Structure 1
Amino acid sequence: MSESVSFEVKGQVGWITLTRPKAMNALSRDMFVDMSAQLRAWQDDDAVRVVVLTGTGPAFCAGADLKAAAGGAPPPGEPDFLDTIIVFFDLLRAFPKPVIAAVNGLALAGGMEAVLCCDFVIAAQSAKFGDAHSNFGVFPGGGGAAVLPRKIPHNIAMYLLFTGDALPAADMKTYGLVSEVVADGELVARAQAIGDKLAKKSPLVLRNMKKVANEAADKTVADALRHEVLALRNHQRSYDIAEGLRAFAEKRQPEFKGY
């Protein structure tokens, strides 16, 4: 495993922490490969119900390692650097469990794109967000141009894309990308507390809510509502809904199993 990223499970919350602060947590090929492998493992691990992505040092992530990106082509038939990037972003975006971005500092280029793949964002007061691809003549490939304008007002997205500037966490909360801004020293504890809270919910409910919500934007309202009702019909046969109703009647906390 790469020494530039660490994996830890606290309670039922899996933490992915970028540990390359001197390089602003720039993402290497090995980091992408290792994070993808860990996501696949946690996807099938019932003991992990929530994932948090964060960084160490002054940056959350400054994006892909441009030195690695400028390297030579791999041997024929082997995935290149862009392939490993796309695999990771696809896994993170489609991960069936809640994913929280705990943004400790600068989130730029691929770092911003990783944030866009998460379900919601908790940011430290000192955090800043920007696209930055235009600063280096690099084109985004993880959602900078395709997804950012769907997450925040279009004119703000275009400002970030064109200028390469970064905006503070408080501004990005106003624009809707950040859910909560906390003091720098409280970020990890706050993300863990939210993760612990989500871990007590029905994994089945959260998984299906995420699926319906993520697919709703590409459907008419009528189709999205139909999808929701079909998901509810299936959910009515589940253990978790029966357990939730029993717990309500018995005035106790439910113990959900995710099926």
Structure 2
Amino acid sequence: MSTPNPNLAALLANDSDGWRATLADAVLHIRLANPPVNAINTAMWHWLHATLTAVDDDGAVRSIVITSDTARLFSAGIDFKELRKDDGASFGAPGDRRKLVRETLRLLYSVPVPVVVGVRGAAFGAGAVLPALADLVVGGPSTTFTAAEIDRGIVGGSRFFARLVGEPLMRKMMLLGCTVSGADLNRVGAFAEFVADEEIEAVALSLGERLAAKHPVVMRLMKRAHVEVENMGVIEGYSIEQKYSVIVPASVRDDLVPGPSK
């Protein structure tokens, strides 16, 4: 495996207060570590934004796994102590916290390697958006998602949750501000794996290792295609996937399936 680029290496060597990160066997394991409730503050958004940007050009990372150091609570979401200080006057400006959050979530969604999130315990608001933007989610009996923005005077998050739980359950979550249980999330297919709570992190890391073992060229092209076609029609999306298949070098296909390239 290659070594991380200097930007990523520096970020890993200097964890943000609130995150802990390690890179092993091409799996970047990022842990939420901001007790007591793992609220995500501005410094944490900056670190995650910088890390995902560095991963974009780093062949040393082949998958990302996000978990929490806290068993009872995955994340309380946005740090509302900071939010109360933001009057919205700088919306869209370069230093605007809202823009930082939005751009970080865009990077999490589109980063060119697969993302696995293991959710043990409760996830609120932006804390539930992290798994909603992942490629694979691991949950268990203690996992819950809550979208209480309506009770805090905030509008946003519907498209994130709809891609994970579907439109009807998303509307129930968003309009009622209610909590959805792990059993209900599993019932609608939100989880790639539904396991005992104490197994969530290990299973998430195992999935990350399996993903990292795939050919990196094909994986990055497939991830890019998934992002591009998500909101397209069936045939239109398939044409994009065919385009990316053509890009795969013949030597890569020969390595994967010995014999003449088709």
- TM, length-normalised to structure 1: 0.86
What is the alpha-carbon distance in structure 2 between the residues aligned to residue 87 and residue 10 of structure 1? Answer: 27
What is the alpha-carbon distance in structure 1 between the residues aligned to residue 110 and residue 149 of structure 2? Answer: 24
Structure 1 equivalent of residue 101 of structure 2: 85
What is the alpha-carbon distance in structure 2 between the residues aligned to residue 67 and residue 54 of structure 1? Answer: 23
- Residue range with higher mean Cα deviation, 217-226 or 122-131: 217-226
Q: Which runs of 5+ in 1 are unaligned?
A: 250-259
1:181 aligns with 2:194: yes
**DSSP 3-state at the match of 2:44:** helix
- TM, length-normalised to structure 2: 0.85
**DSSP 3-state at the match of 2:198:** helix
Structure 2 counterpart of 1:28, one-letter code: N
* Preserved CA contact (<8 Å) 1:21 1:59: no
* Partner residue of 2:80 out of 66, 74, 79: 66
* Preserved CA contact (<8 Å) 1:145 1:161: yes
How much does 1:72 deviate? 4.6
What is the alpha-carbon distance in structure 1 between the residues aligned to residue 166 and residue 257 of structure 2? Answer: 40
In the TM superposition, what whole-angstrom CA distance separates every residue of 1:63-87 from its partner, at most 9, and x where no partner exists?
A: 1001111215699865121121112
- Identity over aligned pairs, percent: 26
Shift >3 Å, 4+ stretches:
72-78
Q: Which runs of 5+ in 2 are unaligned?
A: 1-14
**DSSP 3-state at the match of 2:112:** coil
Structure 1 counterpart of 2:254, one-letter code: A
**DSSP 3-state at the match of 1:17:** strand
Aligned-residue Cα RMSD (Å) equals 2.0
Q: Kindly report which structure 2 residues correspond to 1:238-253, keeping only aligned pairs within 5 A, or say none.
A: 238-246=250-258
In the TM superposition, what whole-angstrom CA distance separates every residue of 1:94-128 from its partner, at most 9, and x where no partner exists?
A: 10000001111111111111111111100132111
In the TM superposition, what whole-angstrom CA distance separates every residue of 1:202-247 from its partner, at most 9, and x where no partner exists?
A: 1122222222223223222222121122211121x2432121123x
* Preserved CA contact (<8 Å) 1:169 1:178: no
* Partner residue of 2:141 out of 108, 113, 125: 125
* Preserved CA contact (<8 Å) 1:106 1:127: yes
What is the alpha-carbon distance in structure 1 between the residues aligned to residue 138 and residue 204 of structure 2? Answer: 7
Structure 1 equivalent of residue 5 of structure 2: none
Compared CA separation, residues 168 and 75, structure 1 to 2 (3 A): closer
**DSSP 3-state at the match of 2:123:** strand
Structure 1 counterpart of 2:217, one-letter code: L
Structure 2 equivalent of residue 165 of structure 1: 178
- Residue range with higher mean Cα deviation, 64-73 or 105-114: 64-73
In the TM superposition, what whole-angstrom CA distance separates every residue of 1:2-36 from its partner, at most 9, and x where no partner exists?
A: 221111113211011110131x1111000000011
Structure 1 equivalent of residue 223 of structure 2: 210
